[in-house]
Structure 1
Amino acid sequence: MPCKRIPLCWKRGLVQQWGFRGRGLAWTSCGHASSCSEATRLIGDRGDLLAETADNPQEVQVKQGVLGDCWFLCACAALQKSKYLLSKVIPPGQPSWTDEKYRGCFTCRIWQFGHWMEVTVDDRLPCLGGKLCFSQCQTEDVFWLPLLEKVYAKVHGSYEQLWAGQVADALVDLTGGLAERWTLKDPGRKMEKERTGTVLEKTVFRRLMNLKEQCVISCSVLSSRQGTSELGEFHAFIVIDMLNLSKVAGKDIILLRIQNPWGRRCWKGPWREGGQGWSQLDPVVASELLSQIQEGEFWVEEEEFFKEFDEITTGFPITEEGQLQSLYTEKVLSHTQNLFGSWVKGQSAGGCRNNSSFPSNPKFWLKVCEQSEVCIALLQKHRKYSADWAGRVRTLTHVAKDSPSLAEGIQGKNYQAVGLHVWKVEKRRFNLPKTLSTPPVVGTVCHSYDREVYVRCDLSPGYYLVVPSTFLKNAEGHFLLRVFSTGRISLSEIKPPPIDAALCEELPPGIGESCVKVTLRQHCQDSKCHPIGFHIFQIPNKGNFTVIIATKIDRKRIQSQETLGHVLQEVSFTAVMKK
Structure 2
Amino acid sequence: MRIELFRDQKYAKLRKHHQELGVPWTDSSFPAGNASIGLKKSKELHGVEWRRISELCNNPRLVKDGVGRHDVVQGKLGNCWFVAAASVLAGIEKLWEKVIPDVQDQEWDPENPGKYSGVFRFRFWRFGRWIEILVDDLIPTRNGSPVFTYSKEPGEFWSALLEKAYAKLNGSYEALDGGNISDALVDFTGGVAELIQLRSDSGALTYRDEDKKIELYNRILKEIGEHALICCAIRCEGGQQEEKTDCGLVKGHAYGVTAVKKVPVGSIGLTNLFKGREKLSLVRLRNPWGEKEWNGAFSDSGGEGDSEADREPDINQQQLYSISHLITLCSRSMEWRMISDKEKQKLGLVTEDDGEFWMPWDDFIEQFTDVSINHVINTSLFSFYKTWKQYTKEGNWTRPDRCGGCLNYPESFLANPQYRFDVTTKDNTTEEVIIQLSQNDDNRLATRERIVIGMHVWKVECNRKFRIHKIDLQNVKSSDFIKSRHVFYRTSLKPGRYCIIPSSFKPGEDGQFLIRLFGDEISGFTEMLEDEPKTPNCACIFKGFQTVTRVSVRCIQGLPEKKGIGKTDPYVTIKCEGETVKSSVVENSLNPEFNFSAIFYRKDPDKDILVQVWDHNMLLDSFLGQVTISRAVLADFTGTSKSKSSTATAEPDNPFGDTEGDSIGYSGGGIVKLDLRSKDKNKLDKLPGTIQLLLENDTNLSAF
Tell me the residue number matched to 1:394. Answer: none
Does the Cα contact within 8 Å between 1:417 and 1:450 map onto a contact in 2?
Answer: yes
Does residue 1:142 correspond to 2:156, yes or no? Answer: yes
Tell me the residue number matched to 2:288. Answer: 261
Does the Cα contact within 8 Å between 1:135 and 1:149 map onto a contact in 2?
Answer: yes
Give the number of the structure whose alpha-carbon radius of gyration is greater.
Answer: 2
TM-score, L = length of structure 2:
0.61
The alpha-carbon distance between structure 1 residues 440 and 135, as it changes in their structure 2 partners (threshold 3 A), is: farther
Distance 1:28 1:91 in 2: 24
Does the Cα contact within 8 Å between 2:286 and 2:357 map onto a contact in 1?
Answer: yes
List per-residue Cα deviations over 1:228-274 (Å, max 9, x = no partner). 57433210001223333322221354333221101113333344414
Tell me the residue number matched to 1:406. Answer: none
The alpha-carbon distance between structure 1 residues 78 and 303, as it changes in their structure 2 partners (threshold 3 A), is: closer
TM-score, L = length of structure 1:
0.73
Distance 1:150 1:560 in 2: 53
Does the Cα contact within 8 Å between 2:295 and 2:302 map onto a contact in 1?
Answer: no
Distance 1:313 1:188 in 2: 19
Moved more, 450-459 or 105-114: 450-459
Distance 1:492 1:123 in 2: 45
Alignment partner of 1:71 out of 63, 67, 81: 81
Does residue 1:9 correspond to 2:25, yes or no? Answer: yes
The alpha-carbon distance between structure 1 residues 39 and 54, as it changes in their structure 2 partners (threshold 3 A), is: closer
**Which residue identity lines up with residue 660 of structure 2 in the other structure?**
S
The alpha-carbon distance between structure 1 residues 577 and 62, as it changes in their structure 2 partners (threshold 3 A), is: same
Tell me the residue number matched to 2:185. Answer: 171
The alpha-carbon distance between structure 1 residues 94 and 237, as it changes in their structure 2 partners (threshold 3 A), is: same
The alpha-carbon distance between structure 1 residues 505 and 9, as it changes in their structure 2 partners (threshold 3 A), is: closer
Tell me the residue number matched to 1:131. Answer: 145
Distance 2:470 2:135 in 1: 51
**Which residue identity lines up with residue 96 of structure 1 in the other structure?**
E
SS at match of 2:474: coil
Equivalent residues, number:
482
Distance 1:465 1:136 in 2: 47
Higher relative contact order (CA 8 A, sep 6+): 1
Does the Cα contact within 8 Å between 1:339 and 1:481 map onto a contact in 2?
Answer: yes
Does the Cα contact within 8 Å between 1:415 and 1:449 map onto a contact in 2?
Answer: yes
What RMSD over aligned residues (CA atoms) do the two structures have, in Å?
4.0
Distance 2:653 2:362 in 1: 40
Distance 1:323 1:27 in 2: 47
List per-residue Cα deviations over 1:384-408 (Å, max 9, x = no partner). 589xxxxxxxxxxxxxxxxxxxxxx
The alpha-carbon distance between structure 1 residues 323 and 12, as it changes in their structure 2 partners (threshold 3 A), is: farther
Does residue 1:484 correspond to 2:494, yes or no? Answer: no
Does the Cα contact within 8 Å between 1:10 and 1:103 map onto a contact in 2?
Answer: no
Matches within 5 A, 1:179-578: 179-185=193-199, 201-213=213-225, 214-223=227-236, 227-228=245-246, 230-245=248-263, 246-248=265-267, 249-250=270-271, 251=274, 253-272=280-299, 273-275=301-303, 277-279=331-333, 280-281=335-336, 283-285=338-340, 288=344, 291-317=350-376, 321=380, 331-333=386-388, 335-355=389-409, 356-370=411-425, 372-382=431-441, 413-429=448-464, 435-444=470-479, 446-497=480-531, 505-509=537-541, 551-553=643-645, 572-573=660-661
Does the Cα contact within 8 Å between 1:336 and 1:485 map onto a contact in 2?
Answer: yes
**Which residue identity lines up with residue 73 of structure 2 in the other structure?**
K
**Which residue identity lines up with residue 465 of structure 1 in the other structure?**
C
Unaligned runs of at least 5 residues, structure 1: 1-5, 194-198, 387-411, 520-547, 562-569
Unaligned runs of at least 5 residues, structure 2: 1-21, 305-330, 548-639, 669-704
Does the Cα contact within 8 Å between 2:293 and 2:355 map onto a contact in 1?
Answer: yes
Matches within 5 A, 1:30-45: 30-31=53-54, 36=55, 38-40=56-58, 44=59
Distance 1:510 1:441 in 2: 38
Distance 2:538 2:158 in 1: 66
Identity %: 27
SS at match of 2:179: coil
The alpha-carbon distance between structure 1 residues 351 and 187, as it changes in their structure 2 partners (threshold 3 A), is: closer
Distance 1:463 1:143 in 2: 51
Distance 2:371 2:652 in 1: 35
